[in-house]
Chains A and B, each alone.
Chain A
Amino acid sequence: MISTVAVLLWGLAALLATAVLAGAVSRRAFATRLVYGTALVISAALLVTVASHLASNSGEVSAITLPLGLPWTGARFRLDGLSAFFLIVVNLGGTITSLYGLGYGQHESAPHRVLPFYPAFLAGMNLVVLANDAFAFLLSWEFMSLASWALVMSHHRDEANRRAAYIYLVMASFGTLALLLAFGLLAGPAGTYAFDAMRTAQPGPLAAGAVLALMLLGAGSKAGLVPLHAWLPLAHPAAPSHVSALMSGIMTKVAIYGFIRVVFDLLGAPAWWSGVVVLLLGGITAVLGILHALMEKDLKRLLAYSTIENIGVIFASLGLALAFKANAMPSAAALAFTAALFHVLNHSFFKSLLFFGAGTVLTATGERDMEKLGGLIHRMPVTSFVFLVGCVSISALPPFNGFASEWLAFQAILQSPELPQWGLKVIVPAVGGMLALSAALAAACFVKAFGITFLGRARSAVVERTHEVDRWSLAAMAVLAVFCLLAGILPGLVIDGLSSATLPLIGDRMPVQAAQPWLSIVPIAESRSSYNGLLVFVFITISASLAAFFIHRFASHALRRGIAWGCGFDQAAPAAQYTAASFAQPIRRVFGGFAFRAREAVDMPAPGALEPAHIKVDMHDVAWETFYQPIAGAIDFATERLNYLQFLTIRRYLTLVFLYLVILLLVLALWP
């Protein structure tokens, strides 16, 4: 009987083989269909395998050790509840993205730079989730980064993309080195790199703290935790849109998996303050991320920034879970943890959906700049509809999925009074406030994203010529839209599905939801809090259709098209519409001061003067200016100084040798 892991590994081998094959045929016409088709099939197969494994024997662990990788450890792979869940996330994303790629890939200008790395990227993400020893983990981790780097670099003639790719890979390897150090601590001097060994070994408090910090650096830099996020809004948009979807929707989740795997699984019992750190980081990340998103006018960058926000939400829930776990409150911890995982799943759905939408807009119009779009709802009805669904879901509005996980997170926050530490008691609600704020801002942000891009009148000529895109892309997006709705109205089923991931790590799970009447979800007790997405959905539908019915039954049907009211000016130019910048202006006024050190300079001509008024806004990425620029400056300074050593005369070089010799001899002479 071949174990599930083995099956999965065969699947991954097939993916890698596809990558090689793609490298061979990538310049042929049929390559695109071939590669994405194969990737689609394989990912679907992997998905089915994992799902059936979960269904047949949930929670059962299946492990294997291959004679690869680090010699005396071997390459170990393991499938448990957690990795199964993340495998589902990864491969679901992989399947749908491949489906999308079947259509989107046709428009790719340089397929030979995308096709070989796409399957490799998928395989890398799968391997990270399966890896069961430090070496295999890091190898897959960095392989994943490398493949995605190549994909970001695929449109390499654009200077901006090259810069993005460069910053991305440097940050990635910074993260990898941090993880490497963390694993070094966990493995100890003997070098026991197998996760099973690490699990049993309990590091001291100091070491545990160091590992947590290093994990926040390592996994955080990959996931886009502020202030390590700087690369993310550069790199994610630079890639082809379906890859952006993978990076934003899936790869960040793999990073979160890494964090969970080490901090919840390998590290043993956490300290209560670790919860505080993660909570705060999460909250700050959420707020800053969405504020940045609000200020963006580039659609894909906006989406990337909103990814940062969602990562923040997830990390906040994880921090909460840590805090509860540290205080031996398993049920509450399970609730918070489930909320985090649920949000992972949801975000992978709607963020992929939104990036797909952005991709179709990009292919149709060739524009990423929202200021040049508008009115697409008339040209691309289907795209705009599914994009709208994505926007509603990501804005955490019922009855869609984003709300369900957000709601769970809030429920978890409401467990905080039972926490013994005052610090936590006070911080948790504060972070809750941050999350609420970020949710509200997210709604604002996506009103802007949808409103400016799809609604209103066309802001440039390109929009007139656009039309709906191919069926494959639409199908992919439609599927995701359906998922968003289903996960929103049937959250109970998802929560039960997550129990197999929660149970081993937390030691408890949320109460079984499927048993609840009317499929509502009840974290603790119905008297305390409950939510029934299905009924809310049904009610809204019923009452809306009731209203509609009533109206059409009794009210007048007369309808006339007329010009919009423009204070008597008919047909104001499209330029007169609100732009993305002007839409964000009130919020910039409120938050810009501390978030971006934003300054506005208005020069208003005297009344009666005819020259136009100008408003100039300068905003700063605080994180970038506080951390990255000084480091770059320091390196530059050091190189400048040291560089003189390249241009000395031989006599000076000899002097160096001579001095070095004398110094060493002196040391020796003074040696005790």
Chain B
Amino acid sequence: MAVIFQLAVQGAQMLLVLLLAPLLIGFVRKVKARLLRRQGPSLIQPYRDLIRLMRKEVVLAENASWLFRVTPYLIFAATWVAAALVPTFAAGLQFSWTADLIVIVALLGSARFFQALAGMDVGTSFGGIGASREVMIASLAEPAMLLIVFSLALVAGATQLSTVAAFMGSPEVGLRVSLGMSAIALVMVAIAENARIPVDNPATHLELTMVHEAMILEYSGRHLAMIELATFLKLVLYVSLISCVFLPWGLAHAGAGPKALALGAVAYLVKLAVLAILLAVFETAVAKMRVFRVPDFLGAALMLALLGTLLLFVSRSL
């Protein structure tokens, strides 16, 4: 019985992230539009876009191989699984022990790997631009992310997100300079990973500046829908990751009663909204940077993360 309930919760979470993802994007866009004094598209516009894409026919480049057609599903699957493993409203779900933070990061890595390959499959220079820039960004973002994971794990003594979240919620965390650094680094990484301004502009299609869009330039129809959805999921993932690690309040524990779970869900939605607004504000405030400034940006993130890790020992044992 309990197991069934657990499974239900797990499934609920999977569906939740899937359904919330477009909404979050819509919300961010809406807020940005409002900050620019525009009306902006409606909140559910992303859903409409996805459905429209589904209906459209796929125009496949002549040179596209099977890899090109399989990739969207792989990306979607990898991202979805990863997103489903991050505690959103409840920690310690049935399958949370399947993967810890490192695995989640790696899953996103696999998604990126295939996306870059797909970008190169068609054999245009745009795909190449996108792929090479993407892997360059990743080659800095991933280590930064892992160092963040290290410092979290070294504090909480675990890489298991539920445990980390529980620990961060508990009073013995205290206020640590290194955690602050990790938080900042995590935000920076999240921005880079989700191809947001100032690293990349999700709205642009100016060839020379785009990174993520360049890779998926040749995608259309249902394939594009899959990829778009995966991108949305990724944002949700990072937002819920930040929230569950650095704002773990109200996070229910699976197996807790429906009431706690509902409470957790509400808390989660609030966190999402807050972070989305922050993101929108930030994005409107800053300008996109040149591609070759990105390494400095991420290098800073990397250094912060490393510093955070090293300072741990100072701040803990002394």
Contacts and interface: CB of A to CB of B under 8 A. Distances in A.
A578 B62 contact: no
A204 interface: no
B138 A576 contact: no
Interface stretch (B20-28, B51-59, B191-199, B237-245): B51-59
Contacts of A441: 139
B97 A429 contact: no
A599 B63 CA distance: 35
Contacts of B84: 539
A370 to B, nearest CB: 12
Contact of B135 (A439, A443, A529, A564): A443
Nearest to B158: A528
Contacts of A456: 63, 120-123, 127-128
B228 interface: no
B190 interface: no
Nearest to A556: B55
B109 interface: yes
Nearest to A396: B106
B295 interface: yes
B313 interface: yes
Interface stretch (A271-279, A581-589, A610-618): A581-589
20 contacts: A378-B65, A396-B109, A398-B103, A398-B106, A403-B106, A407-B106, A426-B310, A429-B306, A433-B306, A439-B143, A440-B109, A518-B98, A529-B159, A530-B97, A531-B103, A541-B77, A566-B125, A572-B125, A576-B124, A582-B132
Contact of B109 (A443, A448, A559, A564): A443
A491 to B, nearest CB: 12
A470 interface: no
A468 B122 CA distance: 21
Interface in A366-400: 374-375, 377-378, 381, 388, 392, 395-398
Given A407-B102, A444-B135, A562-B60, A455 B113 contact: no
Contacts of A536: 81, 98-99, 103, 107
Interface string B249-288: 0000000000000000000000000000000000000000
Given A455-B67, A530-B98, A562-B62, 13 more contacts: A388-B67, A398-B106, A432-B146, A436-B147, A443-B109, A443-B113, A443-B139, A448-B132, A531-B100, A544-B76, A560-B59, A572-B125, A578-B128
A29 to B, nearest CB: 38
A414 B160 contact: no
A430 interface: yes
A447 B160 contact: no
A552 B125 CA distance: 31
B100 A529 contact: yes
Interface string A543-580: 11001100100111011111111110000101011100
Nearest to B316: A417
A377 B65 contact: yes
B123 A540 contact: no
Interface string B46-80: 00000000111111111101110000011011101
B76 A543 contact: yes
Interface in A404-442: 407, 410-411, 413-414, 416-417, 422, 425-426, 429-430, 432-433, 436-437, 439-441
B120 A578 contact: yes
A586 B159 contact: no
Contacts of B66: 377, 381
B200 interface: no
Interface stretch (B34-42, B169-177, B217-225): B217-225
Q: Which of A414, A529, A572, A587 has the most CB of B within 10 A?
A: A529
Nearest to A539: B81
A583 B76 contact: no
A441 B132 CA distance: 12
A397 B109 contact: yes
A93 to B, nearest CB: 26
Given A451-B120, A535-B95, A587-B139, A426 B313 contact: yes
A556 B54 contact: yes
A324 to B, nearest CB: 16
A117 to B, nearest CB: 38
Contacts of B209: none
B210 interface: no
B235 interface: no
Contacts of B57: 556, 558-560
Interface of A: 374-375, 377-378, 381, 388, 392, 395-398, 403, 407, 410-411, 413-414, 416-417, 422, 425-426, 429-430, 432-433, 436-437, 439-441, 443-444, 447-448, 450-452, 455-457, 518, 520, 526-532, 535-536, 539-541, 543-544, 547-548, 551, 554-556, 558-567, 572, 574, 576-578, 582-587, 589-590
A536 B110 CA distance: 12
> How big is chain B's contact interface, by range?
35 or more
Contacts of A450: 117
A235 B128 CA distance: 31
Nearest to B107: A398
A497 B142 CA distance: 31
Contacts of B123: 374-375, 455-457, 564, 574, 577
A562 B103 contact: no
A178 B220 CA distance: 61
A529 B154 contact: no
B142 A436 contact: yes
A529 B158 contact: yes
Contact of A377 (B56, B67, B131, B142): B67
B73 A566 contact: no
Q: Which of A411, A425, A443, A452 has the most CB of B within 10 A?
A: A443
A528 B160 contact: yes
B142 A547 contact: no
A539 B78 CA distance: 9
Nearest to A411: B159
Contacts of B158: 527-529
A576 B125 contact: yes
Contacts of B117: 388, 447, 450-451, 455
B153 interface: yes
Contact of B60 (A425, A548, A560, A584): A560
Contact of A540 (B81, B159, B226): B81
Given A444-B138, A447-B117, A447-B131, A562 B61 contact: yes
B158 to A, nearest CB: 4
Nearest to A571: B62
A429 B309 contact: yes
Contacts of A436: 142-143, 146-147
B271 to A, nearest CB: 24
A577 B129 CA distance: 9
Contacts of A544: 73-74, 76-77
B97 to A, nearest CB: 5
A335 to B, nearest CB: 13
Given A451-B117, A586-B292, A532 B150 contact: no
A473 to B, nearest CB: 21
Nearest to A434: B143
A546 to B, nearest CB: 8
Contacts of B122: 456, 564
A260 to B, nearest CB: 26
Contacts of A560: 57-60
Interface string B299-318: 10010011001101100100
Q: Which of A447, A448, A582 has the most CB of B within 10 A?
A: A447
Contact of B113 (A392, A520, A565): A392
Closest 10 CB pairs between A and B? Answer: A578-B128, A558-B57, A456-B123, A451-B120, A544-B77, A444-B135, A586-B136, A436-B146, A440-B142, A457-B123
Contacts of B292: 586, 589
A562 B124 CA distance: 13
A414 B154 contact: yes
Contacts of A443: 109, 112-113, 135, 138-139, 142
B183 interface: no
Contacts of A451: 116-117, 120-121, 131
